[in-house]
Amino acid sequence: MSIDIETARRVAKLARIRVDEAGLPALAGELSGIVQFMEQLNEVDVTGIEPMTSVTPMRLKRRADIVTDGNIQGAILKNAPDAREGFFAVPKVVE
Amino acid sequence: MSAAANTLTVAAARDALRRRELSAVDLTMACLTAMDAADSLNAFVHKTPEIALAQARAADARLAAGAAPDLCGIPLGIKDLFCTRGVASQAASNILRGFRPEYESTVTSQLFAAGAVMLGKLNMDEFAMGSSNETSCYGDAVNPWRRAGDDTALTPGGSSGGSASAVAADLCLAATGTDTGGSIRQPAAFTGIVGIKPTYGRVSRWGIIAFASSLDQAGPMTKTVRDAALLLGAMAGHDPKDSTSADLPVPDFEAALTGDIRGKTIGIPREYRMDGMPAEIEALWASGTAMLKDAGARIADISLPHTKYALPAYYVIAPAEASSNLARYDGVRYGHRAKLAQGDGITEMYEKTRAEGFGKEVQRRVMIGTYVLSAGFYDAYYNRARKVRALIKRDFEQAFATGVDAILTPATPSSAFGLGEMAHADPVEMYLNDVFTVTVNLAGLPGIAVPVGLDAKGLPLGLQLIGKPWQEAELLNHAYVLEQAAGFVAKAQKWW
């Protein structure tokens, strides 16, 4: 299966990465090459095989449901590109 | 002895520090001097000499008090993927430019608690996506090794290229790396050093910038197997902050280095004998096999039938996980935010920020991951890849069930190649670098690269040993035997 320009545009949109119109044909070509490489997987008989969900057969640990930190608003906002009045600031989302 | 203190192994420096023949400050100064004289390697990308000297002074006080841990006063380089409090940690990406974490990764916390000294942060491929360190926002790291009679700049491999270069060039005694598809073992092999990827879950991933969470694992990159044992002991252990970290005791890895593998069985997987494999790699593998046999191991021909499908499965699973993990880089909470035009809304902010902040390879993988997870393709690609992954893991389990103790394979399909030589290659050609290493990540097993010889161009070549889950101690002992038998002592001729 090869990826056409329309699919490349849709994937870029879903990934929230801006790609110029002029860049789409090259992107489609690169993605097609990788997808073709992946298609070797179709040769494998996977009948009755469960998809692997955990790497090691151990139960995930659960921790106690307690507060372990807090009151660190300053630390959380420290690296924000735009923080105002104790909030992350972004362009208007709701009219 | 301080003039060449930076060339010591961790074990030798530990012994000298404990005997007080060497101070941690002098050792650190020797490394800082070597680091500053090696900017042409572009291995260290954020230097932290003040932190290093403060830690070294504290280490000297602790050593004077006696009973200091193995790593007390040992100068290390830290891969840029590890979050280090107050120190730039940007995964070699422009999207994290200026990011200074307010917290410390579990691995670096444990190393510092053991008295280790941080010299600075090390170059790598952007978000650990690459096999040549050429996707870094800092520019290429350079291999200290060169082909005989040729000054072409070579790659140190990737993604832990800066770590490999710095250790091979004696800028630090050891370094941290991370390995998602071979990112510790391939650069170790390209630079003539040792690198171990532990069993998935052995080392906490907390505070390590995520690439593919079911594959990522941190490990040490060192000059010797003994040093790898020392570092791994300090890095490993259960961490309540990583739900996938194993609540298992950490053995004394150094004590496991007995040098005795008599009666052990080494599996040689026939599927790793690839078409077109260079004769030198084939010969190296045969000679490594002979070394283990001479040490008293039994050699068994084994089959890992799904090996061929490991790379395509990896290049579905890793980008799928990456596209999800990297969704957090949105220009809101940290890192880069694009300058917006009049009327731009939040979607434009995301799209412009990510287009400016991510390099080409990262964009490509995020988009491939988005594609394989998108409606209508999830079953065809992602679920199928996870089924193939289950089969790859089963191949190893069946081999170990026949009594195999460790598996010997080549580490890489070639020695280090020239920087820029793959620039016009298909992305898939670059991915082939991981052909021998990626199976180990998919199966969650421990794997170690050990330098074994030089090729005709005078460049190092390594072999890989793969162990059973949680059996790093035994794996390290096998690697130790191989290291002793190979007697690899060559160093890169200093030109930097």
User: Residue B142: which residues within 8 A CB-CB, separation 6 or more?
Assistant: B40, B41, B42, B43, B153, B154, B155, B156, B165, B419, B496
Beta bridge partners of B460: B454
User: Taking CB atoms and an 8 Å cutoff, what residues of chain A touch B94?
Assistant: none
Confidence label for B50 from pLDDT (cuts 50, 70 and 90): very high
List, for residues B311-324, the tens digit of each pLDDT value: 999 999 999 999 99
Interface of A with B in 9-28 (CB under 8 A): 11-12, 14-19, 27
Contact state of A43 with B309 under an 8 Å Cβ cutoff? yes
Q: Are B12 and B470 in contact (CB under 8 A)?
A: no
Q: Residue A84: helix, strand or coil by DSSP?
A: strand
A interface mutation test: which of B84, B90, B388 has the most A CBs within 10 A? B388
**What per-residue confidence (pLDDT) applies to A1?**
67
**Which residue in B has a C-alpha nearest to residue A47's C-alpha?**
B387
Integer Cα distance of B302 and B300 in angstroms:
6
- Shortest Cα distance, chain B CAs vs residue A6, angstroms: 13
User: Taking CB atoms and an 8 Å cutoff, what residues of chain B touch A79?
Assistant: 98-102, 333-335
Integer Cα distance of B29 and B73 in angstroms:
11
Per-residue pLDDT, averaged over B22-30, amounts to 98
- Shortest Cα distance, chain B CAs vs residue A46, angstroms: 6
Radius of gyration for chain B, computed over Cα atoms and rounded to the nearest angstrom: 21
SS (H, E, C) chain B: CHHHHHHCCHHHHHHHHHCCCCCHHHHHHHHHHHHHCCHHHCCEEEECHHHHHHHHHHHHHHHHHCCCCCCCCCEEEEECCECECCECCCCCCHHHCCCCCCCCCHHHHHHHHCCCEEEEEECCCHHHCCCCCCCCCCCCCCCCCCCCCCCCCECCCCCCHHHHHHHHCCCCCEEEEEECCCCCHHHHHHHCCEEEECCCCCECCCCECCCCCCCCEEEEEECCHHHHHHHHHHHECCCCCCCCCCCCCCCCCHHHCCCCCCCCEEEEEHHHCCCCCCHHHHHHHHHHHHHHHHCCCEEEEECCCCHHHHHHHHHHHHHHHHHHHHHHCCCCCCCCCCCCCCCCCHHHHHHHHHHHHCCHHHHHHHHHHHHHHCCCCHHHHHHHHHHHHHHHHHHHHHHHHCCCCEEEEECCCCCCCECCCCCCCCHHHHHHHHCCCHHHHHHCCCEEEEEEEECCCCCEEEEEEEECCCCHHHHHHHHHHHHHHHCCCCCCCCCC
Confidence label for B327 from pLDDT (cuts 50, 70 and 90): very high
The CA-CA-CA angle for residues B370, B375, B378, to 5°, reads 70
**Which residue in B has a C-alpha nearest to residue A38's C-alpha?**
B312
Interface of B with A in 233-262 (CB under 8 A): 240, 243-247
Each residue's pLDDT tens digit in chain A (95 positions)?
689 999 999 999 999 999 999 999 999 999 999 999 999 999 999 999 999 988 887 777 788 899 988 999 999 999 999 999 999 999 988 87
Q: Check whether B123 has a pLDDT greater than 60.
A: yes
Interface of B with A in 414-453 (CB under 8 A): 426-428, 431, 444
- Shortest Cα distance, chain A CAs vs residue B351, angstroms: 4
Q: Which amino acid is at B443?
A: A
Nearest CA-CA partner of B14 in B252, B162, B193, B226: B226
Burial of B233 from C-beta contacts in 10 A (0-12 / 13-18 / 19+): buried
Q: Check whether B1 has a pLDDT greater than 80.
A: no
Enter the tokens of residue B334: 């940290």
Contact state of B426 with A27 under an 8 Å Cβ cutoff? no
User: Taking CB atoms and an 8 Å cutoff, what residues of chain A touch B271?
Assistant: none
Q: CB neighbours (10 Å) of residue B420?
A: 13
Dihedrals φ, ψ of A15, to 5°? -80, -5
Burial of B383 from C-beta contacts in 10 A (0-12 / 13-18 / 19+): middle
User: Taking CB atoms and an 8 Å cutoff, what residues of chain A touch B101?
Assistant: 79
List, for residues B436-493, the tens digit of each pLDDT value: 999 999 999 999 999 999 999 999 999 999 999 999 999 999 999 999 999 999 999 9
Q: Residue A56: helix, strand or coil by DSSP?
A: coil
**Which residue in A has a C-alpha nearest to residue B364's C-alpha?**
A31
Interface of B with A in 195-224 (CB under 8 A): 199-201, 214
List, for residues B251-307, the tens digit of each pLDDT value: 999 999 999 999 999 999 999 998 888 999 999 999 999 999 999 999 999 999 999
Catalytic site includes residue B160? no
Q: Which amino acid is at B219?
A: G
Query: Does A79 contact B at CB distance below 8 Å?
Result: yes
User: Taking CB atoms and an 8 Å cutoff, what residues of chain A touch B127?
Assistant: none
What percentage of chain B carries pLDDT values higher than 70? 99
Q: How many helices (H) and strands (E) in chain A?
A: 3, 2
With a cut of 0.85, is the ipTM above it?
A: yes
Integer Cα distance of B4 and B140 in angstroms:
27
List, for residues B61-76, the tens digit of each pLDDT value: 999 999 899 999 999 9
User: Taking CB atoms and an 8 Å cutoff, what residues of chain B touch A64?
Assistant: none
Q: Which amino acid is at B401?
A: A
Contact state of B335 with A31 under an 8 Å Cβ cutoff? no
Catalytic site includes residue B387? no
**What per-residue confidence (pLDDT) applies to A95?**
72
- Shortest Cα distance, chain A CAs vs residue B240, angstroms: 7
List, for residues B145-191, the tens digit of each pLDDT value: 999 999 999 999 999 999 999 999 999 999 999 999 999 999 999 99
- Shortest Cα distance, chain A CAs vs residue B430, angstroms: 12
User: Taking CB atoms and an 8 Å cutoff, what residues of chain B touch A3?
Assistant: 371
Please give the mean pLDDT across all residues of chain B. 96
Interface of B with A in 302-331 (CB under 8 A): 306, 308-309, 311-313, 315-316, 323, 327, 330-331
Q: Check whether B336 has a pLDDT greater than 80.
A: yes
Catalytic site includes residue B183? yes
Q: Which of B183, B204, B323, B415 is catalytic?
A: B183
Q: Are B163 and B175 in contact (CB under 8 A)?
A: yes
**pTM reported for the whole predicted model:** 0.97
User: Taking CB atoms and an 8 Å cutoff, what residues of chain A touch B103?
Assistant: 75
**What per-residue confidence (pLDDT) applies to A63?**
80
Q: What distance lies between CA B392 and its chain's CA centroid?
A: 22
Q: Select from B244, B309, B372 the Cβ nearest to the Cβ of A60.
A: B244
Of residues B421 and B430, the one with the higher pLDDT is: B421
Contact state of B247 with A61 under an 8 Å Cβ cutoff? yes
**What per-residue confidence (pLDDT) applies to B2?**
43
Contact state of A42 with B384 under an 8 Å Cβ cutoff? yes
Q: Check whether B225 has a pLDDT greater than 60.
A: yes
**What per-residue confidence (pLDDT) applies to B370?**
97
